Chains A and B, each alone.
Chain A
Amino acid sequence: MKEIRLTTKILKTLVKDRIQYPDRLFVDTIGIIARCGILLILYWYVFKLNNGVINGTTFLFAAWSIFFYFSFSVLRLRDISREIMKDVQTGNVEVLFSKPISYLSYRMWWQVGSGIYSFVVITLLTVVALIFIIGLPPTMTIGIFIPTLILTFLCGAILSLFLYTIVGLLSFWIEDINPVFWIVDKTIMILGGSYLPIAFFPEFMFKIALWSPFGASQFVTHTVYETWQTNWYQLLGIQLFWIVLLGLVVYFMFEKAKQKVSVNGG
């Protein structure tokens, strides 16, 4: 009960914080329009050059898949790595360790709270805009789409938090996690389908995207394709497997990390 109350308070406080500074929402919106919008225009042109179909997929499916990646990225869950590193480097970790909270769950909810306002506003606006501009693929109108989308989205969020938390926790051992962060982040971006829609992946790369935790954290981009209707339970199973495994890794790493705390002046 206490955890739920604190979580709600974190989310409310951070939404209030973001509402108070609408310029951040504006910057986030411009950011997604620039990144996602330009990519969609380019793909629209590439599809047009190929008579509207590439590798059996039309622009409509690819566009929604790319959009789901960018929408998910607005949550900025990846930033948890840098927040943990900042806590360790500045010694702020001691302030949080002296409170009656679990440091990691506090950091995770804080990260969710930091991005949720931009995520909700930008996603709603962009979904409406995309429906009007390019329409909905038939796969998004069937009954299981919304419930499985929510499930895979939640599993993807947990998995992303775990992956980036593991990177962040490395800062208890190494001074600068940025090189590791860069590798993990780019792997997730590529396997998640941010540069190239997953429908275009060669078979070996598709398998990596399917079976690695990096790709599994972005299964939300798979939901628009027809294969999702038959594979969703398998993909959710893969996500759950990685959640359990990485959850254990996070737990044991943090138990070790607590004993490595060595903040300024102590």
Chain B
Amino acid sequence: MNTYSITVSNLTKKFSFSARNASSGWLKNLFSPETKEIVAVNDISFSIKHGERIAFIGPNGAGKSTTIKMLTGILFPTSGKVNILGFDPTKDRKKLAYQIGTVFGQRSQLLPNLPLTDSLEFFGVMYDMPEKEIKRRIAELVELFNLGSFITQPVRKLSLGQRMRAEVAASLIHKPKIIFLDEPTIGLDVVAKKSLRDLLLKINKDENTTIFLTSHDVGDIESLCDRTIVINHGTIIKDLPTQDLAKTFVYEKYINLVALNNFNNFPELPEGIRYSSKDKNKITVVVDINKINLQESLKKLLDLFEVEDIDVYNADLETVIRHIYERD
């Protein structure tokens, strides 16, 4: 049996569009416009096993959404091969749709004027499930996602957190083998985010659903995904276990220095140490331990500043990701 849910080989997507040339006349621009081309995804390859939880991250315009849309059969690749559960999304879009679920955080698939039950039943029919099975699955999802308190309310009256839970539940009505989530926690408060992440983890554990997620939220990546693929300028620049991602910049240590009184001046720092932030009450410096070891850097910093407290820590995941984006 194939152990991979998703196999992508040399996938490329180019968008071409007409660009107006200011030096040409309107007639030329109308009938023979210049064509420009953008390479949104450039020759990427990766494989994902059944039940894996993948964060597919990158800065805005990196090619994340384009990739997700090619994997789900919405966009046609310019070149390369995609295999999702044995299907080619461009040729077998409908067959594949029965096996996958999609959540696009910024768009709703629910029927806004009707109670949530109607949307769930509607999608059950859309996925050609028998009536009994639809009812059983709705009951299951209502309990799992705690939808009971608002299932009879029209969808447009739900809070954003409730709606997102409902969106994910609707995407899971047909027990998909893979769920693609495009920024599912966008705009949610911390409680709603945690609740959604917990639910996705439970679905992954109970039903072995493969999770493929794009997000700008580090919390989603840290708490939900066991593997992270970083894409920038359409190219994969990192593909590693999420816990190893934090170690990427392990040679950098952060030191917080809390002022005994106030810091009045900010002297030049020894080589290997640089300011990350400067404030009268607190300074944060970054130490490159390839250039200066921690003990020596602490000694030098204490010679320079009068401090009340010191805190040494590794870069958090958000900083690591920012570094990766900036360095690329």
A residues contacting B by CB (< 8 A) are: 2, 5-6, 9, 13, 16-17, 20-21, 90-95, 97-102, 258-259, 261-266
Contacts and interface: CB of A to CB of B under 8 A. Distances in A.
A100 B114 contact: no
B200 to A, nearest CB: 18
Interface of B: 15, 40, 64-69, 72-76, 93-95, 97-98, 100, 102, 104, 107-109, 111, 113-114, 118, 121-122, 125-128, 182
B74 A6 contact: no
A262 B95 CA distance: 22
Contacts of A9: 121-122, 125-126
Nearest to A102: B94
A100 B118 contact: no
A17 B128 contact: no
A94 B104 contact: yes
A198 B67 CA distance: 54
Contacts of B40: 266
B65 A95 contact: no
Contacts of A102: 94
A266 B102 contact: no
A97 B15 CA distance: 19
B125 A6 contact: yes
B122 A13 contact: yes
A16 B97 contact: no
B75 A100 contact: no
A266 B234 CA distance: 11
A92 B107 contact: yes
A16 B118 contact: yes
3 interchain residue pairs of minimum CB distance: A266-B65, A266-B66, A100-B97
Contact of A17 (B73, B76, B113, B126): B113
B75 A90 contact: no
B107 A91 contact: yes
Contact of B102 (A2, A91, A95, A101): A95
Given A262-B15, A265-B65, 15 more contacts: A5-B125, A5-B128, A6-B126, A9-B121, A13-B122, A16-B118, A17-B113, A90-B107, A94-B74, A101-B97, A262-B75, A263-B69, A263-B74, A266-B40, A266-B75
Contact of B74 (A2, A5, A21, A98): A98
17 contacts: A5-B125, A16-B118, A91-B107, A92-B107, A93-B74, A94-B69, A95-B109, A98-B102, A99-B109, A100-B95, A100-B127, A263-B74, A263-B75, A265-B66, A266-B64, A266-B67, A266-B68
Contacts of B118: 13, 16
A98 B108 CA distance: 13
A91 B183 CA distance: 15
A97 B73 CA distance: 8
A6 B126 CA distance: 6
A93 B111 CA distance: 15
B60 to A, nearest CB: 8
Given A17-B113, A98-B97, A100-B98, A2 B122 contact: no
Contacts of A92: 107
B113 A98 contact: no
A95 B126 CA distance: 13
A18 B194 CA distance: 37
Given A6-B125, A98-B97, A266-B68, A20 B75 contact: no
A101 B126 contact: yes
A111 to B, nearest CB: 15
Contact of A258 (B68, B69, B76, B182): B76
B107 A95 contact: yes
A20 B97 contact: no
Given A13-B118, A100-B97, A266-B40, A21 B113 contact: yes
A9 B100 CA distance: 22
Nearest to A259: B76
Instruction: From B68, B107, B108, B122, name the one whose CB has the most chain A CB atoms within 10 angstroms.
Output: B107
A261 B74 contact: yes
Nearest to B182: A265
A176 to B, nearest CB: 15
Nearest to B174: A100
Contact of B113 (A20, A91, A93, A101): A20
B291 to A, nearest CB: 40
Contact of B107 (A13, A20, A94): A94
A72 to B, nearest CB: 25
Contacts of A17: 111, 113-114
B172 to A, nearest CB: 14
Contact of B126 (A93, A99, A258): A99
Nearest to B154: A20
Nearest to A100: B97
Nearest to B118: A13
A221 to B, nearest CB: 33
A26 to B, nearest CB: 16
Nearest to B96: A100
